[in-house]
Each structure stands twice: as C-alpha cells, then as structure tokens.
Amino acid sequence: MKNKIVTIFTIIFSIICGIISKDYFLGTLILASGLLNAYYASIGKTYNYIFGALYCLLSAYVSYVNGLYAMAILSLIIYFPLQIQGYISWIKKKDNNNEVKIRKFTFKSSVIIVSSCVVGSVLLGLLLTKIPTQQLAFLDSSSNIINLCGIILMNLRFQECWIVWLFNNSIDLSIWLISFINKGPNSLMMLLVSIGYLLINIYGLYKWIKKSRDD
C-alpha cells in the first residue's frame, strides 16, 4: 500500500512540476522516472530498473542538448545497458521477501573504488576538454564516473553504492544548478531530480544498512 501511495504521489508531483515549468511531457517523465527509480532501488525492489532504463534514455537526450556530452553518451551506451544487466542480476538474488540480498565492502574494495573514480574522472575530463562545445568538462566527467561506479555497485548489491551516490549528488546538483541559471533546456527538471535523488539516497543508505544488520 505504501509503495502505491508513493508512486501516485510522485506522478502527481511530477505532473504539477511539469505544468509549473511548462515542461509538460519530457520534464514530467524525467522527474517521475528518476524519482521512482531511486525510491524502488532504496527499498530493494527489482522493478526500479524499469524506471531507471527510461530515465537513462531521457537524460541522454537532455544532457546532449545541454552540451554535456559525457553524460549523454554514457547514459545511452553504458547506463542503459547496465539497467538491463542489473534487472537480470537482481532477479537471481532475491530473498524470501522478494527483496535483494545486500553485501558490504571490504577495505581493499574501498581503496580500489576510490582510486578508480579519481583516475577515471581526471582522464575522462581531459578527453572532454578537447570537445569545443563541451560544458563543465571535469564536473561532467566526475559525475559520470562516480555514477557509473554507483550503478555497478548497486548491480552487485553493495550497500556502499548509496554513499557513492551521495558524493555524486553534490556534483550533479552543481551541474544542473549552473545549467538552470544559464537557462539550459529541461534543466529545471534535472535539478529537481538531483534534489530528489539526494533525499532518496539518504533514505536508501539508511534502509540498506538496517536491512544488512537484520540479515
């Protein structure tokens, strides 16, 4: 019952935001799919990936028209396929409550993840600076590398994916706030999604830690 209420509220909220911002169709879908993807992931429901796949396709388009080419390309050719892979992976790892079984980091895996994010962000950022119309190259690269890391960790069912995404939230908020100030297309809805993700990621971290202790 709770999940149905959250879904209905999210859809109504997204429609209202779409009307206020005059971003009736694309903006409404972006906000609804993004928030529902994050919420259902936070409670370990496999069908979060359905909303995630839709969000990846929509965000790829919006990122492209805003000159955020790394975000656009990765959303289309990496994030979207990972939603499919994640769905299949989670189906195989459910518990008796039809929820995903949660894993935890070791110190070694923490060092590897942090190092990979730093190196990947710098390398991708340097490549993006070669594109004349690229906007916010190193913020774009950092956001995407960290987000990619978070998606992979979620697919592997590590609770630390939520910590990774909290770091990514701060970067995403900066990107879309700047884009909104510069009146970028559909940037308001992407900013609202980023704010929603921040709140849901905090909730998701709490839920997954609690569930791992209960298990």
pLDDT in tens, 195-209: 887 888 888 888 888
Looking at the DSSP bridge assignments, the partners of residue 94 are 100
- CA within 13 Å, CB half, 202: 7
Which residues have C-beta within 8 Å of that of residue 176, sequence separation ≥ 6? 187, 190, 191, 194
Count of the separate structural domains present in the chain: 1
If one compares 57 and 113, the residue with the highest pLDDT of the two is 57
Residues 17-41 pLDDT 10s: 888 878 778 888 988 998 899 888 8
Whole-model pTM: value is 0.74
Residues 130-159 pLDDT 10s: 888 887 788 888 888 888 888 888 888 888
Q: Domain range spanning residue 87?
A: 2-93+102-214
Helix axes 26-42, 2-21, angle to 10 degrees: 150
